Amino acid sequence: MEKPIRVLHVVTYMGRGGLETMLMNYYRHIDRTKVQFDFLVHREFEADYDQEILSMGGRIFHVSRLIPWSRSYKKELKHFFNQHKEYKIIHVHQDCLSSVALKCAKECGIPIRIAHSHSSNAVFNLKYFIKRFYMLSIPKYATDLLACGKSAGDWMFRGSPYQVVHNAIDTSKFHYDDDIRKKIRSNLEVGKELLVGHVGNFTNAKNHPFLIEVFAEVLKNKPDAKLILVGGGDNQQKIKDIVLSHKIEKNVIFTGIRKDVNELLQAIDVFVFPSIYEGLPVTIIEAQAAGLPCVISNCISSECIVTKNLVTAKSLNDAPEEWAQQILKKSRLSRKDHVKEINNAGYDINTVAKFLEEFYCKKAVNYL
C-alpha cells in the first residue's frame, strides 16, 4: 500500500478557533489513506485538538513564536525544513505573516507552497504596517494561493490569481432538532426567555464591547433575556468587566470553549455577530444550517449569507438601539431546517474535503 501524501500545515496552535475548527473539519473527512495532515505550531502547550490529531495519525511539531524579523526564528524554521525533507507540500495559515514561512520553505527547496487567506482585513494599530509589508510578498513565495472567500482573497493577494475553498461544515450535525433545543436550554437554565448568542474567541475583531451595548438595549424591551457567549481568549476578563459595569451579569452566560457548539446553536433564538472584520466565518454558516436567525455586521462579506431571510447585515455605525430592534424582530421568526441550502451553496464538508484531497494529490504527483 502506498504511503499517504503528508501535508504540513503551519498554524499558531490548534485551539478551537474558527480557522482551526475548519482545518479539523477537512482533516476528519479527507481520505487519510491518500493524504495525511501534520502541523507545525508556534506554542509549546498542548492545544484543544492535539490529541485528536495524534489519534488520526497526524504529527505535531513545535517551534518558537513567530517573530517575522527574527533571524533565530528563520534559522529555526530552515533547520526544521532541512531535517524534514519528506514534506513536498507546506500549507500556511499565518495571515499577513505567511510570507515568512513561505520564503524559508522556498529557500529549503519545498516545491509546493500554499498560502491560505482567512481574513479580509487587519486591526489598524502599530503592527498594521509591518503586517502589510510582509503580506505584499506572499505571492512572491507561494506557488498556490487559496482563500476562504472572494473578499479574503482580494484583500490579501491584491490582484494575484487565487482559488476559493469554502469554510465547509459537517451539515449532518446541524439539522434543527427541537428535542436538543429543549435539553440544552434546560441545562442552561433558560426557559421561554429570549436567548441571544455569539460564538467566537474574545479578540478585538469580534467586537464584544459593542455586542454588550446592543444586548443592554435588548434588555430594555426584554428584561429577562439572556446572552450566551461561547469561546475563550485574552479579552474575556475585559468583557466580563464591561458586563459588570452594566450590572447585567445575571443575564450573561460565559460558557468558555465548548465542544458542543452544534447543540448550543439549537438553543439560541438569535445569533449576533458584530465583527469589525472577518474572512468568511464558519460559525455563521453553522448558525444558518441550524436555522438560526442572524444579525451580523456589514463588515463581514455577504458571501456568508447563503439562506433566504435568515440573515440581516447591519452597519456598525447604526446605534445599539437599532441593532436591538433588529434582534427583537428576528426573534419572531420560526425555526426550520436549512441544511439543504447550505449544501447547495457549496459548504458541505464532504465535497470540499474531496476537492482538497484531489488538489494535494495533483500537486504532489511530480514529486513522489
Looking at the fold, whether 203 and 109 belong to one and the same domain comes out as no
Could you report the per-residue pLDDT of 11-23, keeping only the tens digit for each? Answer: 999 998 888 989 9
How many CB atoms within 10 Å of residue 172?
Answer: 12
The number of folded domains in the chain is 2
Are 31 and 74 members of one domain?
A: yes
Provide the mean pLDDT of the chain. Answer: 94
What's the pTM? 0.86
Q: Do 244 and 185 fall into the same domain?
A: yes
**What residues make up the domain containing 268?**
171-344
* 39 and 159 part of one domain: yes
What does the pLDDT look like over 183-235, one tens digit per residue? 999 999 999 999 999 999 999 999 999 999 999 999 999 999 999 999 998 89
Same-domain status, 325 and 352: no
* Helix runs in the chain, H state only: 18-29, 50-55, 71-83, 98-107, 128-135, 138-141, 150-157, 178-187, 208-221, 236-245, 261-267, 282-289, 320-330, 339-344, 349-364
Q: What is the CATH number of the domain that holds 201?
A: 3.40.50.2000
pLDDT digits (tens, 9 = 90+) for 240-252: 999 999 999 999 9
Question: Do 294 and 333 contact (CB within 8 A), yes or no?
Answer: no
Instruction: Report yes or no: 232 and 258 within 8 Å, Cβ to Cβ.
Output: no
What is the reported pLDDT for 130?
82
The residues, ordered by sequence, that sit 6+ positions from 228 with a Cβ below 8 Å of its Cβ are 188, 195, 196, 197, 198, 252, 253, 255, 264, 267, 268
Residues 6+ apart with CB under 8 A from 112: 88, 89, 90, 143, 144, 363, 364, 367
Same domain membership, residue 54 and residue 23:
yes
Pair (321, 275) in one structural domain: yes
Cell of 170: 459537517
| Site of grid cell 467586537 | 207
d(CA 167, CA 148): 6
Give pLDDT tens digits for 84-101: 999 999 999 999 999 999
The predicted structure's pLDDT at residue 147: 95
Residue 202 shares a structural domain with residue 305: yes
How would residue 2 be classed by pLDDT, with cut points 50, 70 and 90?
confident
- Cα–Cα distance measured from residue 320 to residue 136, given in angstroms and rounded to the nearest whole number: 36
Is the pLDDT at 136 greater than 60, yes or no?
yes
In this structure, the answer to whether residues 268 and 339 fall within a common structural domain is yes
Out of 54-58, 172-176, 275-279, least confident range:
275-279
Please tell me the least confidently modeled range out of 15-19, 73-77, 171-175: 15-19
Q: Assess whether pLDDT exceeds 70 at residue 125.
A: no
Q: Same domain, yes or no, for 152 and 260?
A: no
Q: How confident is the model at residue 174 (pLDDT cuts 50, 70, 90)?
A: very high
Q: Are 247 and 135 in the same domain?
A: no
Higher pLDDT, 52 or 166: 52
Handedness of CA 273, 126, 136, 73 (dihedral sign): negative
Which pLDDT tens digit goes with each residue over 252-286? 999 999 999 999 999 999 999 999 988 788 899 99
Q: Which of 290, 283, 272 has the alpha carbon at shortest distance from 196?
A: 272
Residues 334 and 214 in one domain: yes
pLDDT in tens, 314-351: 999 999 999 999 999 999 998 888 999 999 999 999 99
The predicted structure's pLDDT at residue 71: 96
Give the mean model confidence (pLDDT) for residues 293-315: 93
Quote the pLDDT of residue 122: 60
pLDDT score for 1: 47
**Please, which pLDDT band fits residue 366 given cuts at 50, 70 and 90?**
confident
